[in-house]
Amino acid sequence: MPDSSGSTGGTPETHVIDFRAAERLLAARDPRGAVRLLDSVIAAHPENTAARLLRARAFFAAAQLRPAELEFSIVLEREPDNAYAHFALGRTYERQGRPDQARRHFRLAAALDPNPEYLQRAKFDT
């Protein structure tokens, strides 16, 4: 939360602590708690792609698909060769009932990384 100077508060050290705590919350199946911690990290460091990717994963886990889509898209604007972000965006589109967009990102993920799960979802044979 910004203070009277417009700062989001915290120090780089507390942002690292919050990021690590958000990772643990997501692993413990508390995606909403992870999002809350990451909001302040991203407010202070909007360029931090790792924090945005983690927040996108947390949004997805919380079934907040539109915010997840937006965050994964931001990550891909910055890192267009991020196979995981393509795969996760594909899963987001899939859950939204948008199979054509999902297939496109599954195929991009598989082209960037021949991970068996990516290849299976890409469905190159259809």
Tens digits of residue pLDDT in 73-119: 999 999 999 999 999 999 999 999 999 999 999 999 999 999 999 99
pLDDT for position 2: 37
Residues 33-79 have pLDDT tens digits of 999 999 999 999 999 999 999 999 999 999 999 999 999 999 999 99
> Measured between alpha carbons, how far is 62 from 113 in angstroms, rounded to an integer?
26
CA distance 36 to 38: 6
Whole-number Å distance between alpha carbons of 95 and 75: 19
pTM equals: 0.88
d(CA 85, CA 121): 14
pLDDT at 10: 84
